[in-house]
A = this chain, B = another copy of it.
Amino acid sequence: MNWENNVRRVVPYVAGEQPQNPKVIKLNTNECPYPPSPKVTEALRGYDTDNLRKYPDMNITPLVNALAEFHGISPERIFVGIGSDDVLSMAFMTFFNSNKPILFPDVTYSFYDVWADLYKIPYECQPLDEGFNIVKTDYFKENGGIVIANPNAPTAILAKVSDLEEIIQANPNSVVIIDEAYIDFAIEVKDSCLPLIDKYDNLLVTRTFSKSRSMAGMRIGYACGSEKLIKYLNDVKFSFNSYTLSTPAILAGAASVKDNDYFVSTCNKVRATRTRIFQELQRLGFEETVSHTNFLFAAHEKVPARQIFDALKENGIYVRHWNKPRIDNFLRITVGTDEEMDTLVAFLKRYL
């Protein structure tokens, strides 16, 4: 017997590599290729650093208010955290306290099972169909909670809001989390489940500033839901750490939300590049899912994914590949700038 017997042991999540070489074309962690809004820079430059001696606003008021206005909901329905990973992790801890297993797809964001293990939450993966679509009836059984990424990662596929609503409707005894990290890259506003929070008080929708708002380095994510859900989340958060977001992050986040034109134009640029590269890859013999995200999910008809992955890496182009069942022949390729994507396509043309 020694102190190590009482340690919580977990297998941590492995994030995409972060090479320090600035020459690398980094298409492996779904970062946005464009800088954040100039208003973000202004907010940070204008910040009086003497004020750092004080604790931040523990209610994150400027950012929560900006998001409330942006979504047209009350501030009491918004919870903010250190990236959506922090928000989701808190939500798992807060809402998935049953002995019944929580449900999520077999192919999805690989943090879900890591959080379940961390908090000792039982879980059961539901297989996506052959085209990587959600089978809604799989979620019509007893469970301790449900989490679905929409659009899904790494498949890039968007589920229908009507299907997700059926799942929510069938589960009044569970909290249902829809993880919309990539929703801003979908085509239409009506692709989001966010409006459903008015109808279902057990629905939590999460978002992030790391992708469409180009602020991965600032660590901001949030969730929208009923006042009840948000209150429970805040109680747990205030039992964990009273002050999470730094003051600069709060101010920079609020500035980003207020600059909607810039946000829309960034999302449009990514979508335009995505459409173009989708076609280029098809011409090169890739089979792809229809992407509603800032990445492409592609398998080549002849060359194994791992082989392409290694060749790309050797040539300074990082994409993502998993040695996992069902997806081991796919590459996840972040949509970079047009120039970066042209370099990728030019290499693949030579290589394949």
Contacts and interface: CB of A to CB of B under 8 A. Distances in A.
Interface stretch (A38-46, A324-332, A344-352): A38-46
Contacts of A93: 8
Contact of A52 (B12, B215, B236, B243): B215
A92 B170 CA distance: 37
A215 B216 CA distance: 22
Contact of A243 (B11, B98, B144, B219): B219
A228 interface: yes
B6 A31 contact: no
A5 interface: yes
Contacts of A70: none
Nearest to A118: B239
Contact of A246 (B95, B118, B217): B217
A78 to B, nearest CB: 17
A245 interface: yes
Contact of A9 (B13, B215, B235): B235
B83 A241 contact: yes
B29 A53 contact: no
Contacts of A191: none
Given A2-B173, A219-B245, A41 B36 contact: no
Interface string A103-139: 0000000000011011000000000000000000000
Contact of A115 (B3, B173, B237, B239): B239
A2 B173 CA distance: 4
B13 A215 contact: no
Contacts of A228: 4
Contact of A55 (B5, B52, B57, B217): B217
A290 to B, nearest CB: 25
A328 to B, nearest CB: 22
Contacts of A15: 55, 58, 238, 242-243
A156 interface: no
- Tallying the copies of this chain within the complex gives 2
A240 B118 contact: yes
A12 B247 CA distance: 22
Contacts of A97: 6-8
A82 interface: yes
Contacts of A243: 15, 82-83, 85, 216, 219
A51 interface: yes
Contacts of A287: none
A155 interface: no
B95 A6 contact: yes
Interface string A141-158: 000110000000000000
Contacts of A9: 232, 235
B232 A218 contact: no
A285 interface: no
A227 interface: no
Interface in A10-43: 10-15, 18, 26, 29, 31-36, 40-41
A173 B3 CA distance: 4
16 contacts: A3-B172, A4-B228, A6-B145, A6-B173, A7-B175, A11-B235, A12-B234, A15-B243, A18-B57, A34-B53, A40-B49, A45-B45, A52-B252, A89-B241, A115-B240, A217-B247
